[in-house]
Structures are given as C-alpha cells and as structure tokens.
C-alpha cells in the first residue's frame, strides 16, 4: 500500500501515480488551509463574542452602581432624619457611612465610564451635586451632634428642599438610561456574535467529524489544546499580577481616605464653632431692641422716683409701678429664652385650660390694646390637661400678640377652648386620642404657604429688624411637643390665621391656682404670729441680702447661708428650722442635691426652690412635689410661695397620719 490515502493500482504508470499523489497532497493541503481558516474565524468570532459580553457586563455594572448610589444616598438621608429626631449617635454613624459609600460608588462609576465622554461628563456633574448636597447635610448633622435638634430639624427640612437632591436623582437616571441604550446595542452585538460563533463552531464540528480519523486532525487538536492551556496559564499569571497591583492601590486609597476623614473632622469642628457664633449674633440682634426698651422703662421709672423723693414729692408710686412692669416684662422674655434653650424644665400640673384662658381676659385686653376686640369662648366641660400653666399662659399670650401684630393693632381676636378627638396622623405627629384644642384666630393679613412652612424655625420672623426675635412660635412649638401635644396653623392671605394647640387629656383632677398676695404689707402684722425660722441658701450676695430683707418684712426670722455645705452645718446645730429656701444652681452642691442630702435628717422640712436658671443642675422630676419660685419675684409672690410650700408639707403629713 502506498503512503497517504492513495493505493497504487496494478499496472498504473509512475506518472499517473505521481499525479494522483500530487492531487491528494494538494487536496490535503487545501483542506488543511480551509480547516485553518475555519479555526481562525472561530477564534476571532469567540473573541468578538467575549468582547461583546464584557461590554454588556460593564453596562449592567454601571446600571447597578447607579442604583446603589441612589440607595446609599437614600439610606444616608433617612438615617440623618432619624438622627435629628432621636439624637441616636448610631444613626449618625450610619448616615456618615452610607454617605461615604455613595462617594466611593461615584468614583467607581467614573472609572467604568471613563471611555465614554458623555457619561464621564454626567458623572463629573453628579460628583459636584454630591459634594454640594453633602455640605448641606453635614451642617444638619453638626447641629444634631450638638443636640440642637430643632435647628437641625429646620436645616434638614431646608436640605430636603435643596436643588441638589433631585439633581443627583436626575443625573443617576440619565446615566442609567444612557447605559440602557448602550446595553441594548451591546446585547444585539453579543447575540449576533454568539450566533456567528455558533455557526462557525458547527462548521468546525462537521470538519472535525470528517477528519476524525485523520491523524493531522488529532494532532492539530492536541496542539490546540496545549496552546489553550499555555494561554490560560499566562492569563492566570496576568490576573495574579493585576490583583496584587489592585491591592496596593486600595491600600493607598484607604490611607488617603483616613487622612481626608481627619481633615473633615477638623473642618466640622470649625464649622460648628462658626454656627454657634452666628446663632449668638442672630439672637443678640433680635432681642437687643426689646431688652433696651424694657431697661429704659426700669431705669427711667426708678430715676424719676428718686428725683421726686429727693424733691420731697410723694407721687412716686406710678413710677415704681412702671419700673416693676418693665422688669417683669424683661423677666418674662428671659424665661422665654430659657424655655427655648431647654434650660428651664417644665413644671407640669393638672390644669383646667378653660379656667386658665378665661382668667387671662384682663391681661390679654391690657396687653393687646383697646382697638382690638378679644373674644374668649370656652366650653363648659373642658377636660383637664397635664401642662406647665405658666408656659401655657405665655404661649396663649404670645399667640395673641402675634395676632394683634398681624392685624396692625386693629381687628378681632377669638380664643376658643374645646374638647376634640384626633385620629392617627390627623395633626402632625400627635397620636390618636382625646385632646383639648386651644385656638387663637385673627382677622389679619394671613400668611402664604411658603411662610407657614417656616414659622416654627428658630429666629425666623417676618417682622422688621429689631421688632421681633423669631423665638415666639418656635418656643411654643417646643413647649407643646414637650407636653405631648402638637400644633397646627391654618392661614389664608388677606383673610386671617388660626393657630391651634392640641394638648392631651389628663385623667386626674386640675390643681386649683391661687394668685399671689397683692398687698403683702397689710398682712405683715398678721404673719408675725406664723413667723418661722427660715434657712436661706443663696450664693449671690445681693439676691441673698434682698431675700433676707423680704423675709423679715413678712415677719419671719431668716438665717442666710452662701453655700449648701454651710446650710448642712446649720441644720446639724439647730432644730428650730421651720422651712428651707434654696437656690437651684450653686457652686459645689446644687439645691436638689442639698435636699436629697438632708432628707433622712429632716424628712418633713418644707422646701422652696428659687431659681432664675436651672441649666443641667435639675430637671422636672427632681423638682416634683417641691415649691418653685422663679426669679425675679415680688414680696407678694414670695409670701404666697411660702404659704403653698408649708401647706403642701402639712397636707402630706396629715395624709400619712
């Protein structure tokens, strides 16, 4: 048998045999060339398919990262909102982590679209909006970290209305939409490449089957297999090198992020200090005018009284009354500031809202002026509420003054008190239940929806510079929320405004309220028979001296101490102390701490706290069951507070017996 595929025929000439051999070789060579060409086409088709698949995968990754960025920002915003409300620092950590995760994802997105100029430009715009929006949210987080929740809540609402948040969503949507268009084209290209690769693979399979018994086909397949294995090894080595390079790059990026975090923390501290100074400036500018007016009344009245006394004239009472009125108004403004700053805890008690508002009629009419008609409409069966009555009076008076200003001191004001039942989410955040509604309506200029949305913001006011502090409604808002209620505003421009306070119903009874003794001097002689040895603890020498003189005028025997430690020594030496008067905030031991210290030795000793600022020295729970007299006070108010403190202990002792 001859070599190759040809078999010699007996009698065949050598020339014919050579021709056949040449033809067979040519056919084998041609088939080998065709097979080689087919193999090359299959390889190229596979490469095209892989490239199309990689491009399609990158499009999917870009769309997924766009969604992840949106989700990270949404989670960061949600965590910040909850952080502003609850002051839970874990939520603040979640906010920062999610926000930084969004930044890293934007960087990754920029790497993926760097070959596409249109997409790369959108990512750069997205990065700018991300940084701008991040600065707005960072300001809100700084206020929340400083526990300035109402200011943080206001800033958070402002940030929610920022143009950067919707701009981020629009750019993410546009990037994703562009990538979906590219994805559609790339998917079509991948499908076409796959189909082409499948067709060529089918042809190659047919050729392989045809040459399945041929050694050259087997040899070629073997060589191809070894070649593929070698290529795979080289790709594996390249992949390991790429992973090592990526690890080094990630470590470098982490170092840069840590350095950036330190710089950002320092910048945030500087920003918080700047915001504090800015808030102080706003506050000073808003209240300076009011304080100067009140002090002018005080100084002018006392100066006139001194002049008349020096001239021997007796008409000094009205000037002293004028000075007292200015001092009381200044004290009321100070209490509003302390209440706004949460430095003065609420002292709630069972209160009849109808009786409280009805009892304010004369005060309201004098404050509002004769050109404004005040109508009070109280239901006969109003439920009691658990609230600080003094703060509620301030709130109603403040709303009435705002209503007068809205009417330019001429018009009608209606104050109504009634029972109501609220459903869930009907009014703000108030839960469903029974409430007492106290509403103040005016016929003034009204407000636009844009102004209504901002009226509870601290320092926001529509009044001219120097005519308002912007604390009134924000202070009322804080007081109502602290009391477990909520507040609502209905206003129509040029028609009027109604502000409604909703306070939850109290299941107990209302506490009867007594007015302080007006003419204390007429009862001073009668009080001598009820004179007590009173231990006074006050660190301020001038206040201590004035209080001692007031107690002596009331017929009592005061013993003054400048510190709680000195008072403890006096109590250890004397057993005739009938009542303790103590300041709340003092150096060393505070007033509540003094009372707790002496409680085992003097369990039935009446206690009266006097305070102008409580700060962190006390809260409502520590003062519960004790009399509290706020500075400044008149002698009549002091006399009434002494009587109330004594009667409270006597009633408790009688109940125990």
pLDDT score at 657: 45
Query: Are 93 and 127 in the same domain?
Result: yes
Q: Is residue 261 part of a domain?
A: no
> What is the pLDDT confidence band of residue 617, given thresholds at 50, 70 and 90?
very low
Query: Are 560 and 483 in the same domain?
Result: no
Region 322-333: mean pLDDT is 68
Residue 315 has pLDDT above 90, yes or no: no
To the nearest 10°, the Cα dihedral for 367, 370, 373, 374? Answer: 30
Read off the CATH number of the domain in which 418 is found.
3.30.565.10
Query: Are 524 and 621 in the same domain?
Result: yes
Q: Is residue 294 part of a domain?
A: no
> What is the pLDDT confidence band of residue 336, given thresholds at 50, 70 and 90?
low
Q: Is residue 289 part of a domain?
A: no
Q: Is residue 73 part of a domain?
A: yes
Query: Are 605 and 560 in the same domain?
Result: yes
Nearest CA to 418 among 362, 374, 376? 376
Read off the CATH number of the domain in which 620 is found.
3.40.50.2300
* DSSP-based three-state secondary structure for 137: helix
Residue 298 sits at φ, ψ, to 5 deg, of -65, -55
pLDDT score at 339: 54
Query: Are 470 and 546 in the same domain?
Result: no
- Say which residue the tokens 């006070």 belong to: 633
Region 289-317: mean pLDDT is 66
Query: Are 381 and 498 in the same domain?
Result: yes
Own/partner long-range contacts of 615-624 (Cβ < 8 Å, ≥24 apart)? 615/343, 615/585, 617/584, 617/585, 617/590, 617/591, 617/592, 618/345, 618/584, 618/585, 618/590, 618/591, 618/592, 619/345, 620/345, 620/346, 620/347, 620/348, 622/592, 623/345, 623/347, 623/592
* DSSP-based three-state secondary structure for 536: strand
Residue 644 has pLDDT above 50, yes or no: yes
Pairing type for strands 385-387 and 349-351 reads antiparallel
* DSSP-based three-state secondary structure for 421: strand
pLDDT score at 521: 53
Region 605-618: mean pLDDT is 71
Between CA 80 and CA 134 the distance in angstroms is 12
* DSSP-based three-state secondary structure for 313: coil
Among the candidates 478, 504, 530, a domain finishes at 504
The residue range of the domain holding 610 is 520-656
In the chain, how many domains are there? 3
Among the candidates 456, 472, 504, a domain finishes at 504
Q: Is residue 258 part of a domain?
A: no
Query: Are 527 and 641 in the same domain?
Result: yes
- Say which residue the tokens 């945030």 belong to: 268
Sheet containing 486-492: order of strands: 372-378, 411-422, 433-442, 496-504, 486-492
Pairing type for strands 433-442 and 496-504 reads antiparallel
Query: Are 583 and 484 in the same domain?
Result: no
Query: Are 478 and 393 in the same domain?
Result: yes
Distances (CA, A) of 110 to 116, 135, 310, 331: 10, 21, 84, 60
Q: pTM for the complete prediction? A: 0.42
Query: Are 469 and 429 in the same domain?
Result: yes
Query: Are 484 and 569 in the same domain?
Result: no
Residue 404 sits at φ, ψ, to 5 deg, of -60, -45
- Which of 12-26, 52-66, 397-411 shows the lowest mean pLDDT across its residues? 12-26
Q: Is residue 204 part of a domain?
A: yes
* DSSP-based three-state secondary structure for 387: strand
Query: Are 369 and 489 in the same domain?
Result: yes
Region 310-316: mean pLDDT is 69
Q: Is residue 514 part of a domain?
A: no
Residue 522 has pLDDT above 50, yes or no: no
pLDDT score at 535: 94
């Amino acid at each position: 048998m001859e070599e190759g595929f040809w078999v010699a025929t007996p009698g065949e000439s050598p020339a014919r045999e050579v021709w056949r051999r040449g033809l067979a070789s040519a056919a084998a060579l041609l088939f080998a060339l065709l097979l080689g060409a087919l193999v090359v086409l299959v390889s190229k088709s596979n490469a095209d398919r892989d490239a199309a698949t990689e491009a399609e995968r990158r499009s999917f990754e870009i769309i997924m990262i766009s969604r992840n960025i949106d989700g990270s920002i949404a989670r960061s915003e949600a965590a910040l909102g909850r952080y502003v409300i609850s002051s839970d620092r874990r939520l603040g950590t979640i906010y920062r982590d999610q926000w930084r995760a969004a930044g890293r994802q934007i960087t990754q997105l920029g790497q993926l679209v760097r070959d596409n100029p249109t997409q790369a430009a959108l990512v750069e715009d997205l990065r700018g909006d991300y940084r701008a929006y991040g600065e707005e949210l960072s300001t809100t987080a700084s206020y929340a970290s400083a526990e300035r929740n109402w200011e943080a809540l206001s800033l958070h609402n402002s940030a929610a209305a920022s143009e950067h948040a919707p701009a981020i969503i629009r750019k993410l949507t546009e990037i994703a939409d562009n990538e979906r268009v590219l994805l559609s084209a790339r998917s079509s290209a991948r499908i076409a490449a796959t189909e082409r690769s499948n067709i060529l693979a089918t042809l190659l399979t047919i050729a392989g089957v045809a040459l399945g018994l041929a050694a050259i086909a087997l040899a070629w397949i073997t060589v191809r297999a070894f070649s593929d294995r070698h290529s795979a090894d080289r790709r594996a080595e390249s992949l390991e090198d790429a992973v090592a390079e990526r690890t080094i790059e990630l470590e470098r990026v982490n170092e840069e992020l840590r350095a950036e975090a330190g710089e950002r923390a320092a910048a945030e501290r500087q920003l918080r200090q700047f915001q504090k100074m800015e808030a102080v400036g706003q506050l000073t500018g808003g209240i300076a005018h009011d304080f100067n007016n009140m002090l002018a009344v005080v100084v002018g009245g006392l100066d006139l009284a001194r002049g008349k006394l020096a001239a021997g004239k007796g008409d000094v009472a009205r000037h002293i009354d004028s000075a007292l009125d200015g001092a009381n108004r200044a004290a009321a403004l100070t209490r509003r500031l302390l209440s706004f700053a949460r430095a003065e805890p609420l002292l709630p008690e069972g209160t009849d809202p109808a009786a409280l508002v009805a009892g304010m009629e004369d005060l309201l009419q004098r404050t509002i002026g004769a050109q404004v008609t005040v109508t009070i409409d109280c239901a006969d069966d109003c439920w009691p509420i658990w609230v600080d009555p003094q703060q509620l009076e301030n709130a109603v008076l403040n709303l009435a003054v705002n209503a007068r200003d809205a009417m330019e001191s001429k018009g009608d004001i209606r104050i109504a008190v009634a029972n109501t039942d609220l459903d869930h989410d009907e009014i703000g955040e108030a839960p469903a239940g029974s409430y007492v509604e106290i509403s103040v309506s005016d016929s003034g200029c009204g407000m636009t929806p844009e102004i209504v949305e901002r009226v509870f913001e601290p320092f926001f006011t529509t009044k001219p510079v120097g005519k308002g502090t912007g604390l009134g409604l924000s202070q009322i808002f804080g007081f109502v929320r602290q009391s477990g209620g909520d507040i609502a505003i209905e206003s129509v421009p040029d028609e009027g405004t109604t502000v409604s306070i909703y306070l939850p119903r109290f299941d107990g009874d209302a506490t009867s309220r007594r007015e302080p003794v007006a003419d204390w001097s007429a009862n001073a002689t009668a009080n001598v028979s009820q004179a007590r040895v009173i231990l006074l603890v006050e660190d301020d020498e001038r206040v201590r001296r004035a209080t001692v003189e007031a107690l002596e005028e009331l017929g009592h025997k005061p013993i003054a101490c400048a510190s709680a430690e000195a008072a403890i020594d006096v109590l250890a030496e004397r057993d005739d102390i009938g009542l303790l008067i103590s300041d709340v905030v003092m150096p060393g031991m505070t007033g509540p701490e003094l009372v707790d210290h002496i409680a085992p030795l003097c369990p039935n000793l009446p206690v009266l706290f006097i305070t102008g600022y409580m700060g962190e020295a006390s809260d409502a729970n520590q003062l519960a069951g004790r009399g509290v007299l706020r500075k400044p006070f008149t002698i009549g108010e002091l006399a009434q507070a002494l009587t109330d403190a004594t009667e409270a202990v006597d009633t408790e002792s009688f109940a125990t017996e």
